[in-house]
Amino acid sequence: MAKRSDRLLNLDLLRLVSALMVLAFHYGFRMQISGEGAGVGFPELAPLGMWGDVGLLIFFGISGYVITMSADGRSSFAFAAGRFARLWPTFVVCATITALVLTLLPVPTVPAPTLRQWLAHAVIVSRLLGQPFLDGAYWTIAYEIIFYGWIFLAIAAGVFERHWRVIVLAWLALSVLNEGLLHSGAMEKLLITPYSGFFAFGLCLFRLRTRFSWSGAAVLAAASAWAVATPFLTEPEFLMNYGFDRSIIGLVVMGPAALILIAAAALLPSLPIRPQLAVALGGLTYPLYLLHQNIGYAVFANVGTSRNRWFLLAMVVAAVLAVSFLLSKAVEPPARRAIMAASLRLQGAFDRRRQAA
């Protein structure tokens, strides 16, 4: 069985590639159409950039794999503490940086940040407190947290290890029912129904990698089938936002391509790259994803022109990568150690109190 401490170097690299795909979608396609770059854009990149949202599908599949790995053999408390330590410190710092940049460099189509809005991001999902996200990319973090929540409940109920097949099949069935018939917004959010196939695919892939079974392979096939449908489920929103449909051939290819990349990264031997470098590159992904969108729009909207846009693109990408590197080295590791140490003390105090009772 794979150890929880094993580094999946290919997945680290694929995570970074996926983040860069999303960056290409935002800068190379969305920015000009939405007006968030105040007229500055890269129409030359649009034919490829418009497909960069495949990076999101890859993210969700990798999350299904990695989160299942991090939950393997852990208590619900240890799992929750680990996820909190991983997400919260970097998120709060990135949200703060974004708020400061948007205050100094307003984006025409983005409301100026408020103190109340910034404070609401302390709970990450600021919409729970009635405040909009400081960056549009944060909606995917909300879906990640929902997925974590269901894994936490399954671990706490003692059903995650033995009954994961039933859980995944029920999840997929409810997703098909909602997307095909019910169209409930609440179910869509709570069960991540348009994207559940990718989360489930990653989950099943890890389970089968550690212990193969034909029943598990059948569940993986069901997850794959639903994942392939995802681009078609989300394309109406793309049409609403951007005013045109993408090609059917491209939509047919998106799902299988994402699944193949995830499976290859998880199952094939590691690429010939130094482990320390792969881990460092993978560590850039989370802060890069959180920082790039509205900060990039702010720079292009305020100082971008048709003449300097390519130079500015290089500078913006270099800057967000540099800041991401600093955060991945100077913020995340010490914050994670502090949170995990505090969680161990809390767990120890709880265990002592329970034994005393």
**Band of residue 5 on the pLDDT scale cut at 50, 70, 90:** very low
Asked if 226 and 207 count as a contact pair (C-beta separation under 8 A), the reply is no
Three-class SS state of 29: helix
For the segment 219-258, what is each residue's pLDDT rounded down to a tens digit? 999 999 999 999 999 999 999 999 999 999 999 999 999 9
**Band of residue 1 on the pLDDT scale cut at 50, 70, 90:** very low
Sign of CA dihedral 290, 293, 299, 304: positive
The helix or strand, by DSSP H or E, that contains position 28, with its residue range, turns out to be none
Nearest to 75, CA basis, from 333, 266, 346, 283: 346
Report in angstroms the alpha-carbon separations of 179 from 8, 184, 267, 345.
33, 8, 31, 44
Task: Quote the CA–CA distance of 36 and 108 in Å, as a whole number.
Answer: 6
Mean pLDDT along residues 44-49: 97
Three-class SS state of 31: helix
For the segment 128-140, what is each residue's pLDDT rounded down to a tens digit? 999 999 999 999 9
Is the per-residue pLDDT at 43 higher than 50?
yes
Is the per-residue pLDDT at 3 higher than 90?
no
**Band of residue 342 on the pLDDT scale cut at 50, 70, 90:** very high
Per-residue model confidence (pLDDT) at position 252: 98
**Band of residue 354 on the pLDDT scale cut at 50, 70, 90:** confident
Per-residue model confidence (pLDDT) at position 349: 81
Task: Quote the CA–CA distance of 49 and 34 in Å, as a whole number.
Answer: 14
**Band of residue 348 on the pLDDT scale cut at 50, 70, 90:** confident
The helix or strand, by DSSP H or E, that contains position 269, with its residue range, turns out to be none
Axis crossing angle, helix 275-283 with helix 9-25, rounded to the nearest 10: 30
Per-residue model confidence (pLDDT) at position 7: 56
Per-residue model confidence (pLDDT) at position 109: 87
Is the per-residue pLDDT at 145 higher than 90?
yes
**Band of residue 56 on the pLDDT scale cut at 50, 70, 90:** very high
Is the per-residue pLDDT at 357 higher than 80?
no
For the segment 278-336, what is each residue's pLDDT rounded down to a tens digit? 999 999 999 999 999 999 999 999 999 999 999 999 999 999 999 999 999 999 999 99
Query: Hey, what are 6's tokens?
Result: 């094993």
Alpha helices in the chain (DSSP H): 9-25, 31-34, 46-49, 54-71, 76-104, 115-120, 138-156, 164-177, 185-191, 196-210, 214-242, 248-267, 275-283, 285-303, 309-330, 332-356
Nearest to 289, CA basis, from 33, 20, 97: 20
Per-residue model confidence (pLDDT) at position 352: 78
**Band of residue 260 on the pLDDT scale cut at 50, 70, 90:** very high
Is the per-residue pLDDT at 101 higher than 70?
yes
Per-residue model confidence (pLDDT) at position 355: 79
Task: Quote the CA–CA distance of 55 and 43 in Å, as a whole number.
Answer: 20
Asked if 297 and 334 count as a contact pair (C-beta separation under 8 A), the reply is no
For the segment 155-212, what is each residue's pLDDT rounded down to a tens digit? 999 999 999 999 999 999 999 999 999 999 999 999 999 999 999 999 999 999 999 9
Give the DSSP per-residue string, 71-127: HTT--HHHHHHHHHHHHHHHHHHHHHHHHHHHHHS--TTSPPP-HHHHHHGGGS-GG
Count other C-beta atoms under 10 Å from residue 305's C-beta.
10
